[in-house]
Amino acid sequence: MHSTLKEFLLKKKLFFEKKIDRGFSSHLFLARNKKGVFFVIKMERHDSTRFKMAERESENLKKANGVGIGPKLFDADLEKRIVLMEFIEGSCFSEWIFAGPSKTGLKRFVKELQRQAKVLDKIGLDHGQLAGSGKNILVRKGMPVIIDFEKASCNRKCHNLSVIEGFLLRNPKGAIAAKVNAILG
């Protein structure tokens, strides 16, 4: 195990559970405390701090948390390049949608996601990666939780709502929009 991760786990009194994912700029790990509560550790992949994942993710997630959005941010260790956050138990949106949710369930989900996008627009935080594969929207108990705020910014024009609506409902070539429209009828 990476020594930085080991030190961080010791410091936070957490236990390593498993590796979740390896993205372009970070490693994602699942950890738990002695009570059995799970946490996600997002650790910058590169030794260089060029990508500033830890700063960006923590600063933007903090802003989102301020309006009740995203997994709760628990810690940002900028020396170790690690962000500690709430573990969202569930599947990613692209898996969930193809597993065939009910019409009522999907309606509620879309409404809630539109609400969250509007709230982010209102505070001027553009997420930047809401569309695409649907991997930055997790589904917990049928409700959306937006993750991955690393590329979010307050310095761009905000279009979270239009991106979400395009992605979910209007993208003519998108398998996801086709599926959503097929369920909603």
160 binds Mg ion (CB under 5 A): no
Closest CA to 65 of 125, 114, 133: 125
136 binds Mg ion (CB under 5 A): yes
Rounded to a whole number of angstroms, the minimum distance from the CB of residue 4 to ligand ADP is 17
Crossing angle for the helix pair 103-123 and 53-66, nearest 10 degrees?
110
Using CB under 6 A, which residues numbered 5 to 24 contact ligand ADP? Answer: 20-21, 23-24
143 binds ligand ADP (CB under 6 A): no
Q: Which of 148, 167, 177, 180 binds ligand ADP (CB under 6 A)?
A: 148
Q: How far apart are CA 151 and CA 53, in angstroms?
A: 8
Closest to Mg ion by CB, 80 or 127:
127
Closest to ligand ADP by CB, 140 or 181:
140
Burial class (CB in 10 A: 0-12, 13-18, 19+), 39: buried
Closest to ligand ADP by CB, 23 or 181:
23
Burial class (CB in 10 A: 0-12, 13-18, 19+), 50: exposed
57 binds Mg ion (CB under 5 A): no
Q: How far is CA 14 from the centre of its chain?
A: 21
87 binds ligand ADP (CB under 6 A): yes
Q: How far is CA 134 from the centre of its chain?
A: 10
Using CB under 6 A, which residues numbered 33 to 72 contact ligand ADP? Answer: 40, 42, 71
Residue type, 105: G
Q: Which of 148, 160, 164, 174 binds Mg ion (CB under 5 A)?
A: 148
Closest to ligand ADP by CB, 87 or 109:
87
97 binds ligand ADP (CB under 6 A): no
- Interface with Mg ion by CB under 5 A: which residues? 136, 148
